[in-house]
Amino acid sequence: MTVASDFSDDVEPFRLSMLIYDKRYRSYTLQIITIALFMLAVGWLVSNVVQNFRDLGKEFSFAFLWEPASYDINQRLIEYTSRSPHWKAAVVGILNTLVLAFLGCIAATILGVAIGVMRLSKNWLVSRLMTIYIEGFRNVPVLLWILLASTAFSAMLPAPRQAPVLLGGGFVPTNRGFYVPAPIWESGSGVLAIIFLLSLVGAWFFGRWARAKQAATGEILPVFWIRLAIIILPVLFFYFILGRPIGLSLPELKGFNFQGGGFVRNSFMALWIALSLYTAAFIAENVRSGIQAISKGQTEAAYSLGLPPNRTMNLVILPQALRIIIPPLISQYLNLTKNSSLAIAVGYMDITGTLGGITLNQTGREMESLLLVMGFYLIVSLLISGVMNVYNNSVAIKER
Amino acid sequence: MSDTQSKNSLLYVSTKDLPELPAPVNTTGPVAWMRQNLFASVRDTVLTVLFAILVIAILYKLIPWMLTDAVFFADSIRNCREIDTGACFAVVTSRFNQLIFGFYPPELYWRPILAFLLMFVAFAPLLHDNLPRKLLWFTGVFPLLAYFLLWGGAIWGPLLILAMVTAAVFVFSLVSKPLNSTLGLLAAIAFCLMYYIFLHDSISGALASAMPIGLEFVESAKFGGFLITFVIGVTGIVASLPLGIVLALGRKSDNMPVVKMLCVGFIEFIRGVPLITLLFVASTLLNYFLPPGTTFDLILRVIIMVTLFAAAYMAEVVRGGLAALPRGQYEAADALGLNYWQATRLIILPQALKISIPGIVNTFIGLFKDTVLVSIVGILDPVGIMQPIRSTSEWNGIIWELPIFIGLVFFIFCFTMSRYSMYFERKLDTGHRS
């Protein structure tokens, strides 16, 4: 009691010098200085911008987005003509970016996981070759790979008339691009899609039921095969019942060019392949380090419990390795998405090419266009890292 | 009984050493190695055979094309095709100077070469600790020396900056002795800004007109090729590390929420957008943010953007290192009575940076590779110069040779950096890891 009163008597009155010398108050001084400097800098920049805009007779507005864009985009997922407004060009660009990023992430993951696992192979030749692949791709700029792929496609592939028709007429590489089969949706395909979704839900419920049964009785069902049957069989059955509502249209040579089917431009193919191969090298390293980080004791413990090797991998090693692999994997996805902006170097019309490229040059609205482009990438990044944080929290080791 | 028995049983024991037999042939030597590493199981054998066929097929095509049938000296692609059927590396040899120096005046090539060589001298004391510590002074002066060598102009500008830095150190010690080092730092920075904004141009201009000593001035537009890669890359690497450390410390400063917020905002913004959009900002937008009439070198603008970009990534790497340090280290530093800067400089940073070496070097490599993006805003770095060379009438039709050369140079430098970081990591490993 006396001690407490001793301290309370000791409280110093506040002096101005404490703002510098006292650790408790110094942080306030520094923060106020920081805020002041920051405000000054922002004010200076903003006043410069205002002054410059006034000198050039410009004003800050997004009204240009509703003016006609008057340029064509040769690869688009939605209806767009040169009379469409600029915002629609931006949407076309956004969709192109997202398609490229999505397909790139899938290809890079498949390749990266395969290469990362092969890098750990006991086979000397295989692991050496994978090391060469990884080091080769990681140490050369991705822009160089993209340009190389794009020039190689347009210079090495034949003109449409001489082009080889591969895979039973389904796949034609030419120097303009790749002709691929396209699905034709006829009446009844909607029913098929609904059936497919329903069987997915059914497979999920079956998985839950099987797990509950295993927990209750210890009986293990061949879950994988039964699930596969639940997903595939009803769809196949109704596909024939409904009279094959989904067909394929194959490309056919007519005159100097191919008609029908789908057409994928060289610029997209080059970007997709180069970005996937490049990112796969990084993902492979993440996979390797994730698997190596699981101590050998885990494998040995699983063996001593009598688990066979494939179950050891699936039930013991992978769940632990995934916790290490997934955060860097997602940041690689993020990198791939951001690297897809290099599309501008080969003329693929992504968001940087439409809004940040042609629209910017045509309207002279640098500030507004770049703000929108950066805003788009920022939103995508924050969304992805938000998802990553949720995942990290859900798999984090619960310490007791 | 036991005697006779033991004597009898001893008859089985040999009295002399038998010669050692060689190990079975399939457990040592190349045969065993191949059995264990190439043909351990049926699956392994299949994989080995498949990959071996693949490798041989590629090499069978590649070696003649790249080496034996390749043409290294010719004056046009037609000439190349007449001489031999392989790759036409003559494009690299005949345009070598352009690929390395861009449009830098040929009679002044000695300046970038000298700067490049001196760069190794400047980095040497940082990379090897058995060199005399006095060399660090040269490291400190090198940025100004390199600037002077590359751009030329009057010598007074760099000299005055040197004087300014010396004076700033003096100001720092003057303020930090009676007050504290944070305020000293602020005072020194304020001094430098004041000097540079108000005095520098007039003083150096006056000195240059009174005593015109210096090298011939070379404008930035003439820089190109790998020269620009190195100027941007090395400046970015050198500047992004300290900036990244400051940002990471700012992000860790929990008792100053305003500073923390600013740092987090900056880092997340930069990491969230692609470098190419930042380069567009540098090339089209930056002039709006500066007082009217300011012109500002494009290369300098690009260097600033690349540095800020790398600094944000560096900050995250260093933050990882700071987070990996046990709390006890911070508490021990406090218990010793060290203040914030002493604790950071002597206890925290040396350990945190050591932990984050792999990440730091990865960021360096990333930055070095990212310098090729400047070709998109019209700077003639090696990738930017590739297209003009391809479209000349002599070299129209060249596809693989230029990217192979450029890629090889990048590979050599990036691979060396990553191997050096592994060596450095092992050398600094004090074995405290569990």
Tell whether A81 is within 8 A of chain B (Cβ). Answer: no
Distances (CA, A) of B366 to B118, B234, B411: 24, 12, 12
Sorting pLDDT into bands at 50, 70 and 90, what band is A169?
A: low
The whole-number average pLDDT for the span A31-42 is 90
Q: Which of B33, B35, B37, B46 is the best residue to mutate to test the A interface, defined by the most A CB atoms within 10 Å of its own CB?
A: B37
The half-sphere exposure of B341 on its side-chain side, counting CA atoms within 13 A, is 8
Chain A segment 314-343 residues within 8 A of B by beta carbon are: 338-339, 341-342
Identify the DSSP state of B102. B
Work out how many domains chain A is built from and give that number: 3
b/e map of A274-283 (b: 16 or more CB within 10 Å)?
bbbbbbbbbb
CB contact under 8 A, A374 and B399: no
Sorting pLDDT into bands at 50, 70 and 90, what band is A273?
A: very high
CB contact under 8 A, A139 and B414: yes
What is the C-alpha to C-alpha distance for residues B285 and B24, in angstroms, rounded to an integer?
Answer: 75
Q: Looking at the structure, tell me whether residues A386 and A289 fall in a common domain.
A: yes
- Residue in chain A closest to B53 (alpha carbons) equals A125
Nearest CB neighbour to B376, from listed A122, A124, A345: A345
The C-alpha of A199 sits at a distance from chain B's nearest C-alpha, in angstroms, of 36
- Residue in chain A closest to B48 (alpha carbons) equals A125
Q: Looking at the structure, tell me whether residues A289 and A379 fall in a common domain.
A: yes
Q: Looking at the structure, tell me whether residues A297 and A391 fall in a common domain.
A: yes
- The reply to whether A80 falls in a domain is no
Q: Which of B284, B317, B375 is the best residue to mutate to test the A interface, defined by the most A CB atoms within 10 Å of its own CB?
A: B284
Both structure tokens of A66: 């509703």
Instruction: Please check the confidence at residue A109 and state whether its pLDDT lies above 90.
Output: yes
Residue A1 is predicted with a pLDDT of 42
Q: Is the ipTM of this complex over 0.90?
A: no
CB contact under 8 A, B383 and A48: no
Mean pLDDT of the residues in chain B: 85
Nearest CB neighbour to A34, from listed B258, B272, B365: B258
The whole-number average pLDDT for the span A165-180 is 74
CATH 3.90.1300.10 fits B222-428, yes or no: no
The whole-number average pLDDT for the span A8-17 is 66
Domain that holds residue A289: 86-175+265-395
CATH at residue A305: 1.10.3720.10
Residue A6 is predicted with a pLDDT of 47
Gap between the terminal Cα atoms of chain B: 61
> Hey, CA dihedral for B111, B112, B113, B119, is it positive or negative?
positive
- The reply to whether A76 falls in a domain is no
What is the C-alpha to C-alpha distance for residues A181 and A163, in angstroms, rounded to an integer?
Answer: 16
Chain A segment 379-398 residues within 8 A of B by beta carbon are: 381-382
In terms of phi and psi (left: phi > 0; alpha: psi -120 to 50; beta: otherwise), the region of A121 is beta
Q: Where are the domains of chain B?
A: 25-68, 153-215, 222-428
Asked whether the beta carbons of B191 and B215 are under 8 A apart, the reply is: no
Q: Looking at the structure, tell me whether residues A35 and A94 fall in a common domain.
A: no
- The region of weakest confidence among A70-79, A138-147, A370-379, B94-103 is A70-79
Distances (CA, A) of A14 to A17, A19, A24: 9, 9, 11
Q: What is the pLDDT of residues A340-358, one digit of tens each?
A: 999 988 888 888 888 888 8
Amino acid B16 reads K
- The reply to whether A215 falls in a domain is yes
The whole-number average pLDDT for the span B238-266 is 90
Mean pLDDT of the residues in chain A: 83
Q: Looking at the structure, tell me whether residues A165 and A20 fall in a common domain.
A: no
DSSP symbols for A277-343: HHHHHHHHHHHHHHHHHS-HHHHHHHHHTT--HHHIIIIIIHHHHHHHHHHHHHHHHHHHHHHGGGG
Instruction: Please check the confidence at residue A2 and state whether its pLDDT lies above 50.
Output: no
The C-alpha of B62 sits at a distance from chain A's nearest C-alpha, in angstroms, of 16
Q: Looking at the structure, tell me whether residues A324 and A298 fall in a common domain.
A: yes
Residue A20: how many other CB atoms lie within 10 Å: 15
- The reply to whether A254 falls in a domain is no
Nearest CB neighbour to A344, from listed B47, B271, B276: B276
Amino acid B350 reads P
Asked whether the beta carbons of A225 and A171 are under 8 A apart, the reply is: no
CB contact under 8 A, B48 and A21: no
Tell me the pTM. Answer: 0.85
CB contact under 8 A, A342 and B383: no
What is the C-alpha to C-alpha distance for residues A381 and A383, in angstroms, rounded to an integer?
Answer: 5
Q: Looking at the structure, tell me whether residues A350 and A272 fall in a common domain.
A: yes
Tell whether B399 is within 8 A of chain A (Cβ). Answer: yes
Residue A292 is predicted with a pLDDT of 87
Query: At a CB cut-off of 8 Å and minimum separation 6, what does B298 contact?
Result: B220, B282, B283, B377, B378, B379
Q: Give chain A's length.
A: 400
HEC sequence for A210-221: HHHHHHHHCCCC
From A157, A147, A343, select the one nearest B386 (Cα to Cα).
A147
From A125, A102, A130, select the one nearest A287 (Cα to Cα).
A130
Residue B371 is predicted with a pLDDT of 92
Gap between the terminal Cα atoms of chain A: 37
In terms of phi and psi (left: phi > 0; alpha: psi -120 to 50; beta: otherwise), the region of B13 is beta
Strand-pairing partners, residue A109, are: none
CB contact under 8 A, B291 and A49: no
Asked whether the beta carbons of B325 and B355 are under 8 A apart, the reply is: yes
Q: Looking at the structure, tell me whether residues A215 and A343 fall in a common domain.
A: no
Q: What is the pLDDT of residues B160-180, one digit of tens each?
A: 888 888 888 888 888 877 777
Strand-pairing partners, residue B215, are: B153
Task: Please work out, in degrees rounded to the nearest 5, the angle formed at the alpha carbon of residue B430 by the alpha carbons of B427 and B434.
Answer: 125
Asked whether the beta carbons of A69 and A93 are under 8 A apart, the reply is: no
Asked whether the beta carbons of A371 and A378 are under 8 A apart, the reply is: no
Strand-pairing partners, residue A173, are: A178
CB contact under 8 A, B274 and A338: yes
Both structure tokens of B154: 């009057």
Q: Looking at the structure, tell me whether residues A386 and A300 fall in a common domain.
A: yes
Top pLDDT among A60 and B344 is at: B344
- Among A225, A249, A273, the domain boundary falls at A249
b/e map of B106-122 (b: 16 or more CB within 10 Å)?
eebeebbeebbeebeeb
Q: Which of B249, B280, B414 is the best residue to mutate to test the A interface, defined by the most A CB atoms within 10 Å of its own CB?
A: B280
Q: Looking at the structure, tell me whether residues A270 and A166 fall in a common domain.
A: yes
Residue B50 is predicted with a pLDDT of 92
The whole-number average pLDDT for the span A253-282 is 83
Residue A397 is predicted with a pLDDT of 67
- The region of weakest confidence among A133-142, A376-385, B284-293 is B284-293
Identify the DSSP state of A358. I
Sorting pLDDT into bands at 50, 70 and 90, what band is A167?
A: low
Both structure tokens of A224: 């994988």
Distances (CA, A) of B98 to A21, A359, B76, B87, B390: 59, 34, 16, 20, 13
Q: What is the pLDDT of residues B35-68, one digit of tens each?
A: 888 888 888 889 899 999 999 999 998 888 888 8
Q: Give chain B's length.
A: 434
